[in-house]
Structure 1
């Protein structure tokens, strides 16, 4: 049950590219990634015709590494990986669209127990079995051909497993998969250790022998094997896999906040550890130009990513062979996904427009905003600059300045309207004043101790979470969830 490991890895990739801090170092080691030919056109096909890159992110419950070699027993024991049960399941499936115009990306979570048709004559089954069914069929075929090298059998049959899952996702959502990223158990602990742990919050204490999740209620920080257990657990949760999806989305949000606020991307030693962990944890499709992808991420707006979950029906659908499954209506899923991937930022469960869609955002491009951090919180200048970029402003310089008490927005001579726009975007009652030393078209924001992370647009998390029922049903009467001090909601 790999759970959110793929989430951690891809968020790291996006953060490195979106901020630009890690790009140079990132490009130095890119040749070390494992690749697999799993998508038509991997040798260099045409660019996506829809103006965006659709990426399928898959977390595997696999006990072998990317080269097909069994993971050491000691490592499995440390990760509470347990013994293989003879089946290979995909426990995290996220369809992510990264627009080519730099606007906000959207990740669509697909529950592992979704009951869908699996192309290739397999019939209807839980979607997490698509990879395993394709892999097992190819494994038998290769053995019948006389191939005995177990590592080769693992690698070659895995390619067919990936293609079977890709076909399943494309049929279900109507999207075309342009790139593929696959992650297994190996390296998750190193990734979370590299960022110094991730803050989370639980509504109730949990003790789950299946995943090894043993946590008290309330706020806490998890890393290594404990973080893996946190994102793996689904047994004992009121909403099962839907609760686990919420956990994964909250974990991604919290990790992004931690990386940006803790200076991970400017700490060379920590950055090296993070890049090394990502490098050994991911298998990418053969034709994916990951350097180009990193450059694309640099242009992403401050809103960065929204996360949604496909519409589902009853969670206890009785099936002929697969036990209880999550009911799926394919027509609804296609309509939902195509609505999101067609450029809309709001889902049926969240009608509010994204900040970048609000009136006036196109007029903000002519305003370059420099952010000076006198608040004392590490990384805040970059976080605010990214957020203002999501409002359509042009990002200027960021730096730290002498500590100050109040936040001030300064504008060039005769450009008070520009200063007022920035103040409104920050959402606070901040002083706006003229600064004759500023170049025309520039606004300078001086952040003081009165600026709170919860203020205005800039206080919105880098990763927007799905307002799914599972997130509110945990509270009495379906009320809003408790928010931890790190800004993430407390979850089941």
Structure 2
């Protein structure tokens, strides 16, 4: 028990955050990405991006481009190891040399695949990385290969017929890329069981331009690296990277302790830093950065047809850095010997689908939750309150407020008059062994959780290694994690290999 809050034989309610949660939430919203929608300049920049983007008809019939019935959005983000821009034009040899892109082998492989799930309301996001060497069935009857080749299989399958139609140059590149994207989307859908609603593709040059436009991204390395293959030459600790250095940071594969998994952690940490930077008021109020960002996106990003970025941005008003989480599908073997494709990453599609379902499932209960929970972080672990809240919501609790509170050593659950049973249920779902205490000022059906440094329940690092989630009455086993590969969030800078 934490004696700091003991008074007259009972617990005194721990102090709320200095200015109250509601004021804190207002402050966060003001600094969020959608603050730009409140300014004329920000609005016009979004409109210009929306009207000037390169789009492709890649969401096939039977897959609606409108929001699904539950209001969630599933977006496939693809980073292309491509030597052309979004319009199909070849990148200059000088730029390719600066980016350490290496020789062009004629293939159009995907360097990165991330499935982003945004539930109804847009207040949080989960980004699920798929290792590029995952050995999977390629959609369209192309056999079993590394998932990063799905795009190339689809593209190459139509090149001959498109040439017969008289296409060449940039037009041939754009049209064949469209078929490659369709194959990549179908392959990800087959692997994860998720219907992709939207598609976004960025090339090598796009990474370069976008990171420069926002003034760099803050990252952190556990140790210095010196890799001539990717051009990654970085010191240990926190640092800002942009342009060619940013690309080298996310592309390094050689010399990493865990190989491709460390590379994925690099990408996740980088994207978390980018989300944090774009969500910051410093980017959103800088007209120069916004204009440069708009130009970079239009030049290097391909989106599916019909994706209204302005409308999508309005859905994300509540998104903040701490509510953006990055994770990776479960893997069976990082060095699986394949018959024809060399070493690959072995994955079990059934386990992958269960894992993704556990992160994306939406409860279908129509009645309002009987218990609403606030979660306050006194443990000093960035993003812990948001992660714990997300897990409680999957168990059927109402989403209350999250925020920080005074540092404390023990976790405590407080309840109002007649709410002891509710509090004990919450405490049990947080792992048990947690004290409960009455707080008469709380309304009925409302519970507050104060996380202390002793907290090891849902949302804490390492919890998934021995826990499971209850979703729609079924237990879903999460992928094993350790303290070194727990989900990364955009709340704070995470040091990686």
Identify whether the pair has TM-score above 0.5, normalized to the shorter chain: yes
Aligned to 2:60: 40
- Who is 2:181 aligned against? 162
Residue-pair matches, total: 379
Aligned equivalent of 1:290 = 309
Contact 2:32 2:319 in 1 (8 A): no
Summarize deviations over 1:338-357 as a string: whole Å, max 9, x none: 1211038xxxxx99953356
Trace 1:456-475 onto structure 2 (pairs within 5 A).
Answer: 469=481, 472=484
Aligned residues of 1:112 and 1:128 also touching (Cα < 8 A): yes
Q: Is the counterpart of residue 487 in structure 1 residue 489 in structure 2?
A: no
- 1:275, distance to aligned residue in structure 2 (A): 2.3
Deviation string, structure 1 residues 131-185 (Cα, Å, up to 9, x no partner): 0111111112322x25252212111111110011111011111111111111111
- Structure 2 residue aligned with 1:80: 100
Aligned to 1:191: 210
User: What is the CA distance between 1:45 and its match in structure 2?
Assistant: 5.3
C-alpha distance in 1, partners of 2:66/2:240?
Answer: 44
Q: Which moved more, 1:237-246 or 1:39-48?
A: 39-48
Deviation of 1:265 after TM superposition, in Å, equals 0.6
84-93 vs 187-196, greater mean Cα deviation: 187-196
Q: What residue is the counterpart of 2:252 in the other structure?
A: 233
> How much has 1:55 moved relative to structure 2?
0.9
**Per-residue displacement from partner, 1:301-357 (whole Å, max 9, x unpaired)?**
67432222111011000001111000110110111111211038xxxxx99953356
Which SS does the other structure have where 1:291 is aligned?
A: helix
Q: What are the superposed Cα offsets for residues 104-130 of structure 1, whole Å, 9 maximum, x if unpaired?
A: 221111000000001212111000000
Query: Partner residue of 1:267?
Result: 286
**Aligned counterpart, 1:16:** 33
* 1:90 aligned partner: 110
TM-score by length of structure 2 reads 0.68
In the superposition, relative to structure 1, how do residues 241 and 20 fare at CA in structure 2: closer, same or farther (>3 Å)? farther
d(CA) in 2 for partners of 1:180, 1:471: 32
Distance 2:257 2:321 in 1: 34
- Structure 2 CA distance for aligned equivalents of residues 138 and 31 of structure 1: 29
CA contact (8 A) 1:239 1:470 kept: no
For the residue of structure 2 that corresponds to 1:169, the secondary structure is helix
**2:130 and 2:329 in contact (8 A); partners too:** yes
Structure 1, unaligned stretches of length 5 or more?
A: 1-13, 345-349, 370-414, 429-459, 461-465, 474-479
The superposition leaves residues 241-294 of structure 1 with CA deviations (integer Å, 9 ceiling, x where unpaired) of 111110111112223334445611111122222222222221001121222111
Q: Which residue among 309, 314, 318 is the counterpart of 2:328?
A: 309
Alignment of 1:43-442 (within 5 A): 47-143=67-163, 145-261=164-280, 263-300=282-319, 303-343=322-362, 354-355=388-389, 358=392, 362=398, 364=400
1:169-223 superposed Cα distances (whole Å, 9 cap, x missing partner): 1111111111111111123222212222222221222122221111122222211
Specify the SS of the correspondent of 1:80. Answer: coil
Cα separation, partners in 2 of 1:241 and 1:97, compared to 1, 3 Å? same
Contact conserved, 1:315 with 1:325, CA < 8 A, in 2?
yes
Partner in structure 2 of residue 454 of structure 1: none
Structure 2, unaligned runs of 5 or more: 1-30, 364-383, 404-439, 453-459, 461-477
Residues 23 and 94 from structure 1, CA distance in 2 versus in 1: closer, same or farther, beyond 3 angstroms? Answer: farther
In 1, the alpha carbon distance for the partners of 2:276 and 2:386 equals 23
